[in-house]
Structure 1
Amino acid sequence: MDFDKLKQKVSERALDRQDVSLNPPDSGLQFEEDIFEEKLSETARSRSSAARRITNSFSWLGPALVLLAPIPFGSNRPVLWMFWCVVLFLALAIFAGAVAARDPGRSIRVSSLRGLIAIGLCIPLAGLVQLVPLGILNSLPAHIPPDLVPRRMSLSASSSLMAALRILSYIALFVIVVATSLRPDRVKSRLHYIFYAVFAHAVLGLVMLTVLGDISILGPKESYEGFATGTFVNRNSFATFLGMGLVCGMALLMDRANRRRMRRPGKLSLLSPERIELLMFASALGIVFIAQVFTASRAATASTLVGLWVVYVLMSAKARGSILRPLLRGGGAIAVLTLVAFATFGSDLLDRSLTIDSAAGTRLDLYKQVIGMIAMRPLSGYGLDSFRIAYELFHELPVSTAFTWSLAHSTYLALWVELGLVAGTLPMIAVGMVFVRSFKSYLNRTTDFVAPVATLGAIVVAALHSTVDFSLEMEANVFLLIAICGLGVANLRPSRSTKVSPE
């Protein structure tokens, strides 16, 4: 046997195997896979970018509604309710469909709010249950003939159905605002534009009161002459709208001041761009407050001052690390602001404050009768949006019978009359959940806490005023509160942009 030839063949085979290992036969396929993966990555980035553009476009819905909804009577008309229902249902459907089509793997990030949304959905569901014929639950005053007792729990089926649709549209708006508020810079930007929308209405309200000779949106006023009502009919509703905008603007102003202080410690020169910018923003806040004082709404002004105090304390506590000094300073500042407002602009407000006893007496008589209504139907209620019809069955002296009382002048009592004590408490639970979540966000965040603080302030204003008035039964005010709350409870993720506000 020729061992030299055998050794040479073994060496050649080893070299062949080495060559195969260095250049596998599917190396061309591997190269094609790399190109395919790169194309997939580019496609994913393109889809994600398209979805972000869609999200950014729909994030303008909140500020747009805050600007447009108050123009026709605060949107407090059935035809306007249905119009906004169509707009919001279509907006949610188009938004969800467009995101799903552009980026199928992308989800609308509201999963952490499922409990809150579920409670919200139970409210219109309770209204629809009232349309079921359950005559056994329809207890009414003894003087009502049995033949006139309706078969349904709701005394006005059409009103209850319309109200259920309206509440569903509120949930649609909330979902859109939360789903489009993922980036801190976008949240702060939209919060700014919400305040600018309220500021625009404050300016318009003052112009309509003074320059244009105290007119309403349709011309000469039929009521509330001499008071700022803006495009609303009722001055108290306009005052609540301005109050929620004020606390939003206060949070933004203090956020600007705190960020300026961190960037450039020390005092600013009088004519520095930062100082001028802060002064201009503070002037805008002052104009909104002046407009609210000219509404002469006692409860709304008091509620707003409490809301401003809450915002000041929370923002100062984050900036300075202590809460006692902000509590005292804020209380003193609110007291001074109150005195200045009364002395300079608030003669009408002061006059109305001096007559608060007689007004309180009338309200207390009304509330006693309303509580009697609740006691007769504590669980079933009289039907969503059925207060006007239901109250006429109980209306008697000493409450004036000179005109029809279409509202309970307390949103809490109105909810319990219309939905009963159980279902009527659900809206309060939902707002309470938003308050708690916003407060937790405020405590846990070291930055980007201005939206939760604005939410807390807006809820304080709305909740306090709702005890003695019906401002949250005006659709434009509900849109404003939902737009602020949606920004406050949103799940933020880090922004790729360094821009923090539309300054």
Structure 2
Amino acid sequence: MSGRSSPRACCLSACWCSSPAKRAGAAARRVAPDLGASERGAQRLAQRHHQRHPGITRNALGWYQYYLVLFLLGWAVGRNRDSAEAGLKALLVVEVGLACYGAFILAAGNTAVAFAERVAYRDSLTATFINKNSYATFVGLGVVTALGMIVSTLRREINREDPLHIQVRTVIQLLITRYFLLVLCFSVLCVALSFTGSRAGVLTTALACGIMIILVLSRRGLRMQSLLGAAALLALGVGGIMSIAGGRMTEGFTSASAFDSIDDRSVIYKSAITAFHHTPLLGNGLGSFEYVFTPYISDELIGLRSVVDAHSSYLENMIELGWPGTLVLLLSLGLLAYACYNGIYRRKRVLPYSLIGLGATVQVGLHSLVDFSLEIPAVTSAYVLLLAFGVAQSTSTRWH
């Protein structure tokens, strides 16, 4: 994977860790006649790529081991509530710092990223990231973190027996006084997210935030009036952010390039599904998608740059791991997310960690349907830590 990976299960069967070139050659031989290529040519294609990248499977396993160690470290640290809170605050500092840096670079012309010449997304805020969708996922995790810290603490400050207008007034007073810094971080990150121009990033983050708010309000059954009041405040906030972003966000949803991107993805998905059907059980090996996919490139994809991702983490996982391996991966992450969900309702107080862990899973899970952001180490590292903190606080027998 050469530095790009997703947090897949680290205890995969040895069949997925075998040389991907062998399975790539087999897949290429099966489809070569349909593509007008010879069997010998398909074999040479797979062997040549394996010679250039002999450690591709080893590198992929190295990243999985790193994410496993990071999760265990985050879980150990997250069992202490003060340490977990410090971790969340540190992540917010990094997120806001990168957002401010990205805004400065964008205002200066956005011609470089991390001292390298920028070749794409010059109209988008991407901070130190190359791809706007990857940064949208990363900054979306910051939005989820800030919102989780705000709503979980506000929930403890509000008396459910008070009239609605008293509750609203209490919320506003707390937001502009005690929690002003958190609100400022949340606002900065929301504006940064909107200026990425990533449609999927904005929509998936908004859905994750909405689910988080509903979970908090539904805990112990708040009245419908409170739910409607919170929804109104959220709508006002989102409307304000969209008005700041203005035409930039609207253009991201309606421009011709947006529809071209959708068309390109649909063509890639069609070819990728064909590739999956040839090796549905064992897959083609870890990190093998880039060259396994080559024999399946259709005429519609010839004009595109080299296809190195399926633009869907789920589909790419199925091609590399087969559907059993993908199922193991999803079940593993699903169980961890379910632990966070239980933590929201099982605890006497709504701590932010369980809420953030679940919200982060919803956000990256939805975005992974149409993109490959979890293959970016910075994005995956942030997600793994948030999930680890959530699981640690949700399953801990006592708070430290």
Give the TM-score normalised by structure 1: 0.68
Matched, 1:286 2:190: no
Matched, 1:159 2:56: yes
Alignment partners' CA distance in 2, 1:173 and 1:381: 26
Alignment partners' CA distance in 1, 2:291 and 2:22: 18
Alignment partners' CA distance in 2, 1:248 and 1:326: 23
Structure 1 residues 442 and 402: alpha-carbon distance in aligned structure 2, compared to 1, 3 A threshold: closer
The 10-residue stretch of structure 1 (354-363 or 134-143) with the greater mean CA deviation from structure 2? 134-143
Work out which of the residue numbers 218, 230, 254 in structure 2 matches 1:317.
218
Alignment partners' CA distance in 1, 2:118 and 2:284: 33
Instruction: Please tell me whether the aligned partners of residues 175 and 183 of structure 2 are also in contact (alpha carbons under 8 angstroms).
Output: no
- CA RMSD for the aligned pairs? 3.3
Q: What is the DSSP-based 3-state SS (H/G/I as helix, E as strand, rest coil) of the residue aligned with 2:300?
A: coil
Alignment partners' CA distance in 2, 1:372 and 1:178: 39
Structure 1 residues 366 and 269: alpha-carbon distance in aligned structure 2, compared to 1, 3 A threshold: closer
Aligned counterpart, 2:244: 344
Aligned counterpart, 2:273: 371
Alignment partners' CA distance in 2, 1:287 and 1:184: 26
Q: What is the DSSP-based 3-state SS (H/G/I as helix, E as strand, rest coil) of the residue aligned with 2:266?
A: helix
Matched, 1:140 2:30: yes
Q: What is the DSSP-based 3-state SS (H/G/I as helix, E as strand, rest coil) of the residue aligned with 1:225?
A: coil
Alignment partners' CA distance in 2, 1:388 and 1:134: 13
How far does the alpha carbon of each residue in 1:142-181 deviate from its partner, in whole angstroms, 9 at most, with x for none? 33424753899x9665212210111111111111111222
Larger Rg: 1
Aligned counterpart, 1:194: 91
* Deviation of the 1:410 alpha carbon: 0.7
Structure 1 residues 445 and 372: alpha-carbon distance in aligned structure 2, compared to 1, 3 A threshold: same
* Deviation of the 1:388 alpha carbon: 1.3
Aligned-partner residue type, residue 195 of structure 2: F
Contiguous gaps of at least 5 residues in structure 1? 1-75, 82-116, 497-503
How far does the alpha carbon of each residue in 1:37-60 deviate from its partner, in whole angstroms, 9 at most, with x for none? xxxxxxxxxxxxxxxxxxxxxxxx
Aligned-partner residue type, residue 222 of structure 1: V
Matched, 1:359 2:232: no
1:287-302 equivalent positions in 2, closer than 5 A: 287-302=188-203
Instruction: Please tell me whether the aligned partners of residues 2 and 59 of structure 2 are also in contact (alpha carbons under 8 angstroms).
Output: no
Work out which of the residue numbers 465, 469, 482 in structure 1 matches 2:384.
482
Aligned-partner residue type, residue 342 of structure 2: K
Alignment partners' CA distance in 2, 1:229 and 1:290: 12
Structure 1 residues 405 and 137: alpha-carbon distance in aligned structure 2, compared to 1, 3 A threshold: closer
Aligned counterpart, 1:244: 141
Structure 1 residues 146 and 426: alpha-carbon distance in aligned structure 2, compared to 1, 3 A threshold: farther
Of structures 1 and 2, the one with the larger relative CO (CA 8 A, separation 6+) is: 2
> How many percent of aligned residue pairs carry the same amino acid?
20
Work out which of the residue numbers 84, 87, 103 in structure 2 matches 1:206.
103
Aligned-partner residue type, residue 113 of structure 2: S
Structure 1 residues 360 and 336: alpha-carbon distance in aligned structure 2, compared to 1, 3 A threshold: farther
Structure 1 residues 129 and 283: alpha-carbon distance in aligned structure 2, compared to 1, 3 A threshold: same
How far does the alpha carbon of each residue in 1:387-417 deviate from its partner, in whole angstroms, 9 at most, with x for none? 1111211112223434211111111111111
Instruction: Please tell me whether the aligned partners of residues 16 and 283 of structure 2 are also in contact (alpha carbons under 8 angstroms).
Output: no
Alignment partners' CA distance in 1, 2:114 and 2:12: 33
How far does the alpha carbon of each residue in 1:429-475 deviate from its partner, in whole angstroms, 9 at most, with x for none? 22111111111111111125311110111111101111111111111
Matched, 1:123 2:12: yes
Instruction: Please tell me whether the aligned partners of residues 25 and 42 of structure 2 are also in contact (alpha carbons under 8 angstroms).
Output: no
Matched, 1:149 2:43: yes
Instruction: Please tell me whether the aligned partners of residues 412 and 467 of structure 1 are also in contact (alpha carbons under 8 angstroms).
Output: yes
Matched, 1:469 2:363: no
